[in-house]
């Protein structure tokens, strides 16, 4: 999967239905970072937990690649964070060992959220 193929997949998925969400605005710098993380939820299809394991595995490999944009990595992180599989969790943990500096903040939230999805 390439950067372009990922966005084609996501756009096709999002045309079906998006996950319901809420958001807020604040001037606090720390809260802004958290808000940016929550804003990433706009990229989640309603049935993100039903994305096939093979696709999740490919997304994980793409996340670890060097040839994709930060925007794509951010979107992949958001999808993996909400997928109830060890495949998604392992990919996040592996990327989380050496994330791009710009994505360090959301990685903690993403791994915690994926661990929560995997508790059940």
Q: What is the reported pLDDT for 22?
A: 47
Which residues form the domain of 74?
3-117
Q: What is the reported pLDDT for 44?
A: 73
DSSP the chain: --HHHHHHHHHHHHTT-BPP--------HHHHHHHHHHHGGGG-BTTGGGS-HHHHHHHHHHHH-SSS-HHHHHHHHHHHHT--SHHHHHHHHHHHHS--GGGHHHHHHHHHHHHHHT--
Query: Residue-wise pLDDT tens for the chain (120 aa)?
Result: 888 888 787 777 755 554 444 455 556 665 555 555 555 566 777 677 788 999 999 999 999 987 899 989 998 999 999 999 999 999 999 999 999 999 988 898 899 999 998 886
Number of domains in the chain: 1
pTM (two decimals): 0.72
């Amino acid at each position: 999967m390439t950067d372009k193929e990922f966005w084609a997949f996501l756009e096709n998925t999002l045309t079906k239905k998006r996950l319901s969400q809420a958001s807020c605005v604040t001037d606090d710098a720390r809260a802004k970072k958290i808000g940016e993380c929550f804003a990433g939820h706009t990229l989640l299809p309603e049935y993100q937990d039903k994305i096939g394991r093979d696709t999740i595995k490919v997304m994980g490999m793409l996340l670890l690649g060097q040839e994709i944009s930060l925007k794509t990595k951010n979107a992949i992180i958001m999808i993996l964070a909400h997928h109830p599989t060890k495949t998604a969790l392992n990919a996040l943990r592996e990327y989380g060992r050496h994330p791009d500096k710009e994505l360090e903040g959301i990685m903690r939230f993403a791994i915690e959220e994926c661990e929560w999805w995997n508790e059940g």
